[in-house]
Every structure is written in structure tokens, then in C-alpha cells.
Amino acid sequence: MKTVLIRKEDVKRRWVHFDASGQILGKLAVRAARVLMGKDKPTITPGVDTGDFVVVTNAKDVKVTGSKEEGKIYRKHTGWVGSMVERPLSDVRATKPQAVVYLAVKRMLPKNRLGAHMLRRLKVFPGGNHTHQAQKPDKAEV
């Protein structure tokens, strides 16, 4: 057997479209993260970004299981004393529905420069329309 390592110049990227309406948030995020990392390709190489572009539409219609709608809390801290902000999933979904899917995928990617580079190829839209029709994204099933 021979191990083949791919160079970043030789990576062929495609566009993948996920429709989030009626999908479970975690299952959708896992599938999108795998495509962003390139783990669905046979040419995956550690240390090289071999992933594809991901377009997620209908982020406002994504489902969660159990009591996560009221129980899941999104926290952020600016670094100042007393500046912890906690918001439940229902509030985040009401104000910025694409942030729910974006954060779920972001937290499944590597926490380094390579993960930040992968995250730039994630495009999330709250409605059914997106601005990447010209790239002709492949429809993916969750």
C-alpha cells in the first residue's frame, strides 16, 4: 500500500447545499462539519485543509430535541467584570436564527488556525434563498 498526501494546491473544492428545515440541529452540524473538514473525501490529509464549501438554508426551521428550546443556554463573556451574557436558544433563534447553526458547526471544528480557515467556507442563511446559485451546489442529505 502507498500513502498519498495531497498538497493544498491540488485540492478540488465543491459546493454542498444542506436544507435545514425539519432537520435535527446536531445531526445537521455533524454532517456539515465533516464536509468542511474534508473527512468525507478519500484524500483527507492531516494539516491540509481539504474540505469543501457548505451552504445551509432554512436555518430558522431547524429542530432540537427534548427541552433544549428553553434549557440550552448560549453564553458569552467580553472579559470585563460582570459582563457574562446568557441567552436561551429560543431568544437566539428569534433574533438571529442563523447563529444557532453557525455556532453548532463552529464548535465541532478544530480549535486552531486551520479550523478558523474551514469556518470561512460555511455560509448559513435563515430563509430558503441563498446567494450562491452560480456555484451550483450539490444537494446533500442529512
**41 in any annotated domain:** yes
Residue 86: Cβ within 10 Å count: 10
**68 in any annotated domain:** no
For residue 103, the domain's CATH number is 3.90.1180.10
22-81 residue pLDDT tens: 999 999 999 999 999 999 998 888 889 999 999 999 999 999 999 999 999 999 999 999
73-128 residue pLDDT tens: 999 999 999 999 999 999 999 999 999 999 999 999 999 999 999 999 999 999 99
Instruction: Give the predicted TM-score (pTM) of the model.
Output: 0.92
> Hey, what's the cell of 103?
455556532
Number of domains in the chain: 1
Domain with 24 in it: 13-63+96-129
**109 in any annotated domain:** yes
Per-residue pLDDT for 4 more than 90?
no
Residue 122: Cβ within 10 Å count: 20
What stretches of the chain show up as alpha helix (H) in DSSP?
25-37, 68-71, 89-95, 97-106, 113-119
CA distance 50 to 17: 17
**6 in any annotated domain:** no
The answer to whether residues 141 and 21 touch, using CB atoms and an 8 Å cutoff, is no
**78 in any annotated domain:** no
**19 in any annotated domain:** yes
**135 in any annotated domain:** no
Q: Could you tell me what percent of the chain has a pLDDT over 70? A: 100
